[in-house]
Amino acid sequence: MDQQPITGMLQRFADGDKQALDQLMPLVYAELQRLASGYLRGERPGHTLQPTALVHEAYARLLKQEQPDYRNRAHFLGTAAQLMRQILIDHARTRNAAKRGGGSLRLHLDGQKIAIERAPFLLAVDDALTALARKDPLKARLVEMRFFGGLTAEESAEAIGKPVTEVRRDLRVALAWLQRELDRAETVKGAGA
């Protein structure tokens, strides 16, 4: 994908040209659709939120941003991933409030993949990421870009301006920390049952 037109459109959008986002969306729509499908792949069959609706909601939220400052495609996709994560968290909280349910907490790491299977698990991951963000915002952002945004280590490094080796190291540390937090949450939940 040619980076120049995307970067130019992002700059125009940052400068206040809302039409630039309309021109950008066809160029990145397939990637956003892939991200949304990945988010929803682990959800239960018949999930009320579909990938297209998730992309459209993220687009609506992108339009509402006051002063976007996207440096490049990777940075834009990272922001879109963050918005999609928040949309899913909001959806899960609403669904969880409507019907309190169980579900075990499990983090599935298959190489660099994470499967989110149930709303309670998604909420536990969000809680753990929020706690990590308080301790180390950069590591939380890297996890978000990788697992929620589907960005490679190279794209994440480009988005944050750090060496790829440092990004990979920080991501490994963050994943170990998250696994420990989720294991701890599962232990507490099991003890309370």
Residue 182 clears pLDDT 60, i.e. is over it: yes
pLDDT for residue 110: 40
- Residue 180 above 80 pLDDT? yes
Give the pairing of strands 109-110 and 113-114.
antiparallel
* Gap between the Cα atoms of 38 and 41, Å rounded: 5
The pLDDT value recorded for residue 45 is: 55
**pLDDT for position 183:** 86
What mean pLDDT is predicted for residues 59-69?
Answer: 77
Judged by phi (left if over 0) then psi (alpha if -120 to 50, else beta), residue 103 lies in left
Return mean pLDDT, the chain. Answer: 76
Q: Report yes or no on whether pTM surpasses 0.85.
A: no
Q: Is the pLDDT of residue 117 over 70?
A: no
Domain count, the chain: 1
**What is the span of the domain harbouring residue 56?**
3-192
